[in-house]
Amino acid sequence: MLTWQTLRDLKLSELEGAADGWGVASNQADAARDRISNQMINALAESQVGEAADAALGRLKQLDRNFEYAYTECGLIRTTLNALAHELGEEQRRLNLALEDATNRKFTVHADGSVSYPAGGNNILDQPAAGGTTRRLGVLEQPSPLIGPNPHQAEAQRIADAIGDATRNANEIDGRFSRILAALKAPPGLAVTKATWTDAAHDAAAVRTAAKGYLPEAIPDCGTPAARKGWWDGLTQEHREELLATYPDRIGNLDGIPAEIRDTANRDNLQLLIGKLEGQPDERSQNQLAGLKSIDEQLRAQPKPGVPPMYLLGIGDEGLGRAIVSFGNPDTAKNVSAYVPGLGTSLDAEFARNDIQRARDTAIGAAEIDPSSASIVWLGYDPPQLPAEKMLDNLAVTSDKDAKAGAPAYNEFMAGLSATNQHDDPHMTAIGHSYGSLTVGLAAQREGGIPGADNIVLVGSPGTGAQTAEDLGVPRDRVYVGAAENDPVTKLPDQNSAKGVQTGALMGFVNPLGPVTGAIGGFLVGNVATDGSQIYYGTDPSHADFGARRFKVEDGPGVHFDGGPQTPAHSNYFNPKKDSESADNIAMIVAGQGAAITTQEHR
């Protein structure tokens, strides 16, 4: 038990020195991890083949994970000790003020924390009231009507309470942090397993709770991305390291923080999220876990020639999951694009397989034109979850609600890219696919438009909520649209017409022999049953009335009902193997060569 004397004499510098030592250990583990992952593993993979090389690679990768765990745990210990010193320091200051007050008043503080005070005041006989002793939460004696109160008694009681409160609080702090420190230890053996990371996730949560009065209030969750960058730039290296070790989830997802810092934080948080979701049986957790593991594998994969390096700019398990992946450093690249996926997208294995590949393909294509290019996939919102290939079955489940929620988040992300990009005038492109084009369209129609955007690319779009390209905040010749002739999502009926179609049997997709079979010809082919310029979310971006530049894409496979995706043409725009014309055009726009695209007549 801490006594008030122990608290008074406590040397907080020793705790802070111990924290510094753990910080050194954390940094050394981080440096070792970097050498193994970026030097040894790559060099061995490039120069050696065979069973021995494979075994060595396996051991190096395990060692890499071990150092990653050591970095995390040592960083948590560092923050725990600094938070302990911070909280004990507050109580020590409270105690010392009380002791100083007692000395100035010539009171005596005893070993048990009680306080003696001298005689004082006068009674009716003009004699001073007797002195006495009081302790924390003592009861003031009621003086006799004939004797005036001793004015020292109330002051002594206040001092005794302050001494007692400081000592009691210090003991609570000491016990709380002792339990946390006791849990911050590695299991026996040299292997860092799934269970180890699950335990690390619990450790991180406990440290964050314990240190809530030490670090997090300084993190500017509010404010502009530019202000956040200024905040980060003004921090000491020690403060940055502590924030990265303890709050990688918040730093990694904070728009305005440099890309390399976000990548470092999110890679660490990725392991904690995997540990958190391991063993959770619900479908949502398992789907997210599959997506997280796939992203982890891609981050650890051997770099391939011609593929820009991968950066993890955001990761989280809130809602349907969050993931922001860049190929190329968006801070150093002159050309930066950010693609918003659409209907049916969530953080799962399919996202990690398909949507990330779309960003990768765009980055490869753009880098062939201008090496200073980066391409991003931004899953920073919750799109509607009706699968895209089933959108035609029931339009009633889709609305612009999710796009309206995602638009301001996308704009803040783009503002963050502008704040951290190192070029005076970076060339930025906002890309929306499917329902994501509505999100981009609504973002563009917010006050000020999409921050930093020079171009807007819309592919597979059911509309943007805008009537003309001029509504999107950039010159109309900087709005580009790709719409495959066999992509029915780009030919959906306007909402008034759609209301008259039988729910669940729209266009005969659910019941091809039903009464609305003929709607396939009316709505999907030529859209003759509605105003030719209007589709589900406003003017058709590929229509002449909208005024955008329509770039050439392949017609794509027709709609079919024999299993698999019903609308394959809807998914081919970024794929250089399935639609090289579209993929090349998108890459040219991203790389700043929009004048060189091949064009197609408007609808």
Encoded tokens for 307: 């593929």
Q: Using DSSP, state whether 119 is helix, strand or coil.
A: coil
Q: Which helix (H) or strand (E) holds 373?
A: strand 373-379
| Identity of the amino acid at 101 | D
pLDDT at 149: 74
Both tokens assigned to 316: 């989280």
- How many C-beta atoms surround the C-beta of residue 70 within 10 A? 19
Q: Length of the chain, please?
A: 603
pLDDT at residue 347, as a whole number: 95
Rg (CA), the chain: 32
| DSSP string across 42-98 | HHHHHH--SHHHHHHHHHHHHHHHHHHHHHHHHHHHHHHHHHHHHHHHHHHHHHHHH
Q: Is 555 helix (H, G, I), strand (E, B) or coil?
A: coil
The pLDDT value recorded for residue 526 is 40
CA distance 377 to 421: 17
Long-range CB pairs of 139-147 (<8 Å, 24+ gap) are: 147/123
Residue 235's pLDDT is what?
Answer: 93
pLDDT confidence of residue 562: 63
Buried b (16+ CB within 10 A) or exposed e, 364-374: bbbbebbebbb
For position 529, what pLDDT does the model report?
40
pLDDT per 10-residue tile (average), the chain, 603 residues: 94 95 93 85 79 85 88 92 94 96 95 92 70 77 56 91 95 93 82 83 88 77 93 92 90 97 96 91 95 95 89 96 98 98 93 96 98 98 74 60 96 98 97 97 97 98 96 97 94 76 38 31 41 88 97 88 72 96 98 96 94
Which structure tokens are listed for 520? 């396939």
Q: What is the DSSP letter of 490?
A: G
Q: Give the per-residue pLDDT at 523.
A: 41
Answer whether 560's CB lies under 8 Å from 572's CB: no
Q: How far is CA 184 from the centre of its chain?
A: 25
Four-point Cα dihedral 217, 218, 224, 225, nearest 10: -120
What does each C-alpha distance from 544 to 468, 473, 481 come to in angstroms? 9, 18, 11
